[in-house]
């Protein structure tokens, strides 16, 4: 019986090692949860990052398991370089180590430009832009050491065209475009693909109060926003493309 148990344990370890792994930041709800579930349904091991809302992250993990995947939780404040570094190091010391990272964590602040408190501006920039900078700097070395991998950064249409009352958010997302293009050029020789994905309007906590209502989709060719499930599947697809990097993927039917 001991030999049988040892064989079963060995088989389980082998199955885990053969899995592919992804780490998704901001996976406690909304877009991050949908992306986590898309990877889980494809059989990936999912690292679920959160900052404050552990209960929501645990709910994401439960849904990941129900979808056929496996995963674990990571708590980190992406505004703090040390937190991000520790999270990535821990994830890369597990088997399987992530071959894909999805930088989704972000916050919003709805204030007109002339009423924007400097401290709120600084917090949005520190989270959305500088936080992603910390993530990229931590994620690239282990991927380079393993011969490559994929990083998908979640951007926003607001980063290209702005949005009323969204100066800090739009500026932070605009900065991601230059960051992604630069990282793609610097790390391409190491076979790291870095792409920016625009998820379109998604009904999340961040979009409350600003998302168009009713039939206000005249600027969309299809007259509707993209579904969350299709957006998440697009992230999964983009992450696995071997010959695409430095690109902006628009999941919407609205032109940039």
At residue 205, the pLDDT reads: 56
Long-range (24+ apart) CB contacts under 8 A made by 16-19 are: 16/45, 16/70, 16/95, 16/96, 17/95, 17/96, 18/96, 19/43, 19/44, 19/45, 19/70, 19/96
Confidence of residue 172 (pLDDT cuts 50, 70, 90): very high
- Which sequence spans correspond to the domains of the chain? 20-250
Q: End-to-end CA distance of the chain: give it in Å, rounded.
A: 63
Query: Higher model confidence: residue 251 or residue 66?
Result: 66
What are 50-80's pLDDT values in tens digits? 999 999 999 999 999 999 999 999 999 999 9
Catalytic residue among 50, 74, 157, 169: 169
At residue 11, the pLDDT reads: 46
Confidence of residue 3 (pLDDT cuts 50, 70, 90): low
* Predicted confidence (pLDDT) at residue 121 exceeds the cutoff of 80: yes
At residue 240, the pLDDT reads: 97
Q: Which of 99, 142, 246, 247 is nearest to 186 (CA)?
A: 246
CATH of domain 20-250: 3.40.50.720
* Predicted confidence (pLDDT) at residue 28 exceeds the cutoff of 60: yes
3-state secondary structure of 22: strand
* Predicted confidence (pLDDT) at residue 224 exceeds the cutoff of 80: no
For residues 103 and 152, the answer to whether their CB atoms sit within 8 Å is yes
The stretch 197-214 carries a mean pLDDT of 62
Mean pLDDT of the chain: 88
The stretch 236-246 carries a mean pLDDT of 98
The stretch 220-233 carries a mean pLDDT of 81
Known catalytic residue at 169: yes
Q: What is the pTM of this model?
A: 0.87
Token digits of residue 76: 């980190």
């Amino acid at each position: 019986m001991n030999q049988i148990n040892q064989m079963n344990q060995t088989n389980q370890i082998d199955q885990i090692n053969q899995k592919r792994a992804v780490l998704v930041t901001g996976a406690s709800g909304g877009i991050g949860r949908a992306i986590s579930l898309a990877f889980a349904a494809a059989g990936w091991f999912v690292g679920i990052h959160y900052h404050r809302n552990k209960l929501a992250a645990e709910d994401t993990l439960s849904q990941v398991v129900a979808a056929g995947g496996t995963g674990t939780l990571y708590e980190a404040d992406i505004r703090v370089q040390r937190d991000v570094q520790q999270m990535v190091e821990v994830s890369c010391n597990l088997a399987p180590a992530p071959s894909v990272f999805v930088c989704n964590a972000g916050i919003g602040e709805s204030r007109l430009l002339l009423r924007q408190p400097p401290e709120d501006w600084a917090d949005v920039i520190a989270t959305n832009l500088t936080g992603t900078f910390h993530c990229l700097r931590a994620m690239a070395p282990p991927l380079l050491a393993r011969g490559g991998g994929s990083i998908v950064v979640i951007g926003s249409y607001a980063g290209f065209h702005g949005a009323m009352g969204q100066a800090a958010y739009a500026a932070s997302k605009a900065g991601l475009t230059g960051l992604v293009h630069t990282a793609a050029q610097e790390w391409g020789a190491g076979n790291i693909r870095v792409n920016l994905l625009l998820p379109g309007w998604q009904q999340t906590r961040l979009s409350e109060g600003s998302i168009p209502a009713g039939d206000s989709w005249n600027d969309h060719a299809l007259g509707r926003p993209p579904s969350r499930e299709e957006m998440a599947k697009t992230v999964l697809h983009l992450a696995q493309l071997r010959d695409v990097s430095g690109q902006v993927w628009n999941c919407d039917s609205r032109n940039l």
